Amino acid sequence: ETGVTQSPTHLIKTRGQQVTLRCSSQSGHNTVSWYQQALGQGPQFIFQYYREEENGRGNFPPRFSGLQFPNYSSELNVNALELDDSALYLCASSPGQGKVAEKLFFGSGTQLSVL
């Protein structure tokens, strides 16, 4: 059984640029959630994908968008990067058992620095 993997591990961008982060979910998991973790803070929910559709979103602007593919892997896209977007971006997968809150298994994250 493979765990959640994310790429790249580190990324440096400049303000105004666009970035794409990638995530492969744990084997057998069909739901992917994305979180932003600023330094010294707890992770904050960005959105969730289930069966290739966004089905939950936190308080993040529309320039944060995502995709989920048929193999349940996922991408997080951020447009018009701002300095405050600098953070660790975590992907988490879960089995997708339905309406019950689920155990999340996190990847190691992508550290994004916006200069």
Partner 1 sequence: GENVEQHPSTLSVQEGDSAVIKCTYSDSASNYFPWYKQELGKRPQLIIDIRSNVGEKKDQRIAVTLNKTAKHFSLHITETQPEDSAVYFCAASRGGSSNTGKLIFGQGTTLQVKP
Residues forming contacts to partner 1 in the complex (CB under 8 A) are 4, 31-33, 40-45, 48, 50, 55-56, 58, 90, 92, 94, 96-109
How far is 70 from 89, CA to CA, in rounded Å? 22
Residue whose CB is less far from partner 1, 62 or 98: 98
Q: Regarding beta strands 19-24 and 5-7, do their DSSP bridges make them parallel or antiparallel, or are they unpaired?
A: antiparallel
Instruction: Give least dist CB 1 to partner 1, A.
Output: 15
| Minimum gap (Å) between residue 9 Cβ and partner 1 | 10
- Closer of 62 and 101 to partner 1 (Cβ): 101
Backbone angles phi, psi at 104, to 5 degrees: -105, 140
Nearer of residues 24 and 33 to partner 1, judged by Cβ = 33
In the complex, the smallest distance separating the C-beta of residue 81 from partner 1, rounded to whole angstroms, is 23
At residue 2, φ and ψ (nearest 5 deg) are -90, 150
Smallest Cα–Cα separation from 111: which of 17, 3, 19?
19
Closer to partner 1 by Cβ: residue 44 or 73: 44
The phi and psi torsions of 92 (rounded to 5 degrees) equal: -135, 140
